[in-house]
Every structure is written in structure tokens, then in C-alpha cells.
Structure 1
Amino acid sequence: MAFIDDVKANAKSRMKTIVLPESEDRRTLVAVDQILKEGFAKVILLGNPEKVKADAKAWGAEITGAEIVDPASSDRLDSYVAELVELRKKKGMTEEEARKILTSSNTYFGVMMVKKGDADGLVSGACHSTADTLRPSLQILKTKPGTKLVSAFFIINVPNCEYGENGTFVFSDCGLNQNPTAEELAAIAESSAESFRFLVGKEPKVAMLSYSTKGSAKHDDVTKVQEATRIAQEANPELLLDGELQLDAALVASVAALKAPGSKVAGHANTLIFPNLDAGNIGYKLVQRLGKAEAYGPMTQGIAAPVNDLSRGCSAEDIVGVVAITAVQCQLYG
């Protein structure tokens, strides 16, 4: 069974409700059709019900069974306005401003649904930037208790691949932190290992990636990854984590034997921590486009409830997959 099929089966075991703010997007409505047919999540769409239904019909999407909520006329609006004013009062938020935000931004309204328990998680980003998705999440939901850093990862599933966990990997951070410090890289590694363990159900083997392996090159960028490795290992001595490793040393056993003999991670890594956002973003897109991999994300880790972003180049099938993963993440929150 493919990775995403396992995820959908897990999602079905404890059904969760996911809110999708981008009802104006064809891919979203086509995805909802498939989600409802497969029955692994309940769906709330935000928008004018008549327009959403008309668009769905025009695009051949059957969305009967999805709840459609118009933020401007919702009976929840007043309570959401009061909540937003309370949350942002130190920033000078007024009732008028809160009402304007919640009726003009479906994402803000959707995040408030998650905050108030009217939905379990949110998926957005098919036609909005990462900032548009994460800003309301951080303002309203805040960070998960004990979280050192909010970061973003992709679940990558490469067909017919002998590496990783039968071709399944976590790539991180590929969507949020531009140039993390050593301490931040260590926190990203810790969160990514937890995400791999929970979503894939296997033991994470974490590689701290660099263009150097075990001191083969000297540079401040290499030193940063070495320090991040030390911090992560000291904080998580039970975790299989090693670095700094070049990508081939992280994945290929024969290369690992030459470049990093004795490493328990080299040659077997399934959780790849990139040294900066440039490397992570380029890396996942190369594997997705040239390796024809399924790439689900960017998923967030560290927010107080599951809110996940989408690449604006995503397909309807990508949205289906991210909703399934989000639904399983929701199970971790209760």
C-alpha cells in the first residue's frame, strides 16, 4: 500500500473536520469531490454557498456533503469578532477592524474556526502565499506548548525508490525559515523526526545535510551544521541523527561506508534537514519534478493546531493528500 493510502486509512479511523478557505479555486472543489468520495475527512468550504455550488457544477465537482459557510452571514461571526479582539487587544485591535478582517479574509475566518473548535484543521495556499496562511495562524492559534520554532516540511514519496523508508522521506525546512541558526536547525530536526515518526509510523533517521561530510570542507556554513548536529544530539540522545553529511553519504550505503564509516544514519537516512531554505526548496522541487515524486506540503510543525500550506503550483490530487495528512495530524491534538 502506498504511503498516502496508509494515511487515508488512518484518517478514516478517527474522522476529523478540515476547513478549506479557497472555495474559489477549481482545484479545491475537485479535491473536495474526491475527499468526500473516499470518505476520510469532513470538509467545510468558506464562501458564498450559491457561488460555490455553481462553480462546483460548472467544474464537474460533486460537493454534496461538504458544509459551506459564508463568513459574512455566519451566526458564528459575532463570537469570532469578540475572540479576535481579545486575542489582539494588546495590538490595538478594535471590533470594527476584527469584523473587517474576518469577513474579508476566509483564511482568518477559517483559522478562527479551528481556534474555537468548529473545525479541527485548515489547509490553504493553492492561490495565496505562505505568509497569508501562516500569519493568521500565528496570531490566533499561537505556537504549540514546548515548541522552540515553527517550521515547514514536505512528505516526499519517490516511486520505485530504494532509499529512505521505501522511497518516503521528510524534507525540512523547505517552506518557512530562510537561514536558520544552529539552534534553529537543531529544533527543526527534532520536530521533523517527530513528524516522520507520527505520519510514516517508522523510526526516523535524521541527516543534517551539507556540502561537506564529517569535516571534508571548512566554512562557516559547515560549522553551523556541525554545531546544529551537536545540539540536537545532546538534546535527543536516543534519536538516530548524524551530520554533517552530503546527500549521497546520507542516502547511499556504499558512499556512506567511504565517507562516514560507523555512522548509524549515513546510508539509511529518511529525514533530511537542509541547511537553509534555498537548499530545501530547490531540493524538494528537483525530486518532485525530475524524480516524479509525490510532494505533500509544505506542512507546518509547531503551531498549536494543524494548519498546512500548499504550493501554488499544486494539483487537486496534492490538495487531497495534504488534507489527508492534516486529518491525521489532527488526531495527535485530540
Structure 2
Amino acid sequence: MTLIDSWYKQARADPKRIVLADAGDDRAREAAERLNADGLAEAIVIEHAPDHVDATIRDAAAPLGEKVDLTDPLHVAALMVKTGKVDGCVAGASRPTVDVVRAGLRILGVARGAGTVSSSFFFVLPDGTPLVYGDCGVIADPDAQQLAWIAISSARTFAQLAGIDPAVAMLSFSTKGSAEHPRINKIRTATELARQLAPDLSIDGELQFDAAWIPTIAASKAPDSLVAGHANTFIFPDLDAGNIAYKITERLGGAQAFGPLLQGLDGVLHDLSRGCSVDDIVNVAVISSLQA
């Protein structure tokens, strides 16, 4: 059984209520039909937002004032998550990431113990190896504290979906002092902060990708590292690096990519690429079910 097969098996064993917030998008409709027919979730698509607005939704929206638009399917879907009417939301097939993140922040807010909202991509390589990259879609130029929280959240995402312990590499153009630069200092500081915030987390940095991934290079460049050579969760110094790397991994490396998966919200709300397929929506909905 592949990892994705195991996700589907878990989802069928305990179908969750998932709302797809891309009103009027044929891909969302088809994904909902497949999720329901295959027993993967109890899926609904918001076609007309006011149809889903009842007293509970209005009461939840009231303290948020002008920040919430009850005619916007995305806002209504996020309120459905907040009030427990659904277990998770998937959106973004017809909306930019910034819309999805803003709705999440305005309505769900940051979860306790999360520090910041970020994103990651979960990959399954052609040989079945699971990986996570963070952040690939939200924080353009994270400071050291944000980077530490990205590492912790991405590690949690990996553990949830891969079912194995994360080994986190804080990536840089330097490995263990091979270069000096203020940008490298940020990685070192972030690594230490992450260790303080999550003492049980297996994390190391700064590491170049080859030292983080290839055991023989790790033995040469970072012989004392407990992460180098077998990392599975990779944290990039900024959004340029993360976004470029995920697209290369997917398009040239042939990996299956799932995301961007939002992290740190007080509720399950995930984004989609506007170029997503029906399969992409189904898979992210299944991931939402597992995390709910």
C-alpha cells in the first residue's frame, strides 16, 4: 500500500465534513462528487454563499465586523470551520493564495502554540519517499523567529502525513560555517530558536541541500550532525527559494506535490493552486480530513 493509498483508507474509515469554497468552479463540483461517491468525505460546494448563512454563522461573524463578507463563499466557508459546521475547508482553485490566507487569519486566527501562519508542500517522490518543504507560499522574507515557527509547523505537517519522525534541515548556501553572511546568521538564530521552542525536534542548520540529503556529503561537510544526510523536512530561507525549489521538485523531479498546505491557523483551511486539477482538490480534501 502506498502512502496515498493509506491516506484514502484512513479518510474512508472516518469521513469528515469538508467544504469546497470555489463557487462556480466545475473542478470543485467534480471533486465533491468524487469525494462523496468514494466515501472519502462528506463534501459540499458553496455555490451561493447566503444559502449557508444562518444565525450561528451571523453570530460568529458579528465580532469581526467589516472584515467578513457574508456574500463571499470563502468567508462563509471559513466561518463554517470556525463554528464546527464542517471539519475543514479547501479553497483557492479560483482565488489567489492571498485571499485564502487573509480569510483564514481574519476568521480563524493563529492557533495557540503555532507562532505564525505559513505553508508547506508535501511531496511523494517517484520512489515513494515523502518530503516536506516550507515555506513555499505565504511569508516572503521570514525573520528568524518566523523561520523557527515555519520549521516547527512543517515538521508537524510531515509527522501527521508521513507517519514517521521529521528530521528538519534549515537550508542555506553554507554548511556549518563554510561561509559567513548576515543571511546565514538568520538561519543559525532560527535553528536555535526552534530548538528552544521544540526541544524534542530533530533539527539542524545551517545546511546546504546536498549535505542535508546525501549521506556521503553529510559525512564530509557535517560529520557531527544528527540530521545531515537523512533530512526529510526542508526549511528554506525565503519564499523565492522555497517556491522555486518546490516547482523544480515537481516539474523536473517528477514528485507528486500536495499543497500549499496552510499551517498555524486555528482550524483546517488549505489552499490550492489556480492551475489545480480535480485530483489535486480531492487529495487536499483528503489531507484536510486526516488533519481535522
Tell me the TM-score normalised to structure 1 length. 0.84
- Classify the secondary structure of the residue corresponding to 1:269: coil
1:78 Cα shift? 4.4
Residue equivalent to 2:87: 120
- Give a deviation string over 1:296-318, Cα, whole Å, max 9, x none: 11111111110000111211111
Is 1:318 matched with 2:285? no
**2-structure distance, mates of 1:238, 1:73:** 46
Residue equivalent to 2:101: 134
Residue equivalent to 1:10: 10
Greater than 3 Å deviation, 4+ residue runs: 76-79
Pairs within 5 Å for 1:1-334: 1-47=1-47, 70-74=48-52, 76-88=53-65, 93=66, 101-103=69-71, 105-160=72-127, 166-330=128-292
Cα pair 2:124 2:130 within 8 Å, conserved: yes
Structure 1: which amino acid aligns with 2:113? G
- Classify the secondary structure of the residue corresponding to 1:178: coil
- Give a deviation string over 1:34-74, Cα, whole Å, max 9, x none: 32232111101111xxxxxxxxxxxxxxxxxxxxxx32344
**1-structure distance, mates of 2:209, 2:223:** 15
Higher Cα radius of gyration: 1
Report the RMSD for the aligned CA atoms in angstroms: 1.5
Unaligned runs of 5+ in 2: none
**2-structure distance, mates of 1:124, 1:73:** 18
| Percent of paired sites with the same residue | 43
Structure 1: which amino acid aligns with 2:97? T
**2-structure distance, mates of 1:46, 1:270:** 36
**1-structure distance, mates of 2:228, 2:22:** 41
**2-structure distance, mates of 1:80, 1:295:** 34
Cα pair 1:173 1:276 within 8 Å, conserved: yes
Cα pair 1:19 1:119 within 8 Å, conserved: yes
1:29 Cα shift? 2.3
Structure 1: which amino acid aligns with 2:60? E
Tell me the TM-score normalised to structure 2 length. 0.95
Cα pair 1:180 1:276 within 8 Å, conserved: yes
- Classify the secondary structure of the residue corresponding to 2:287: helix
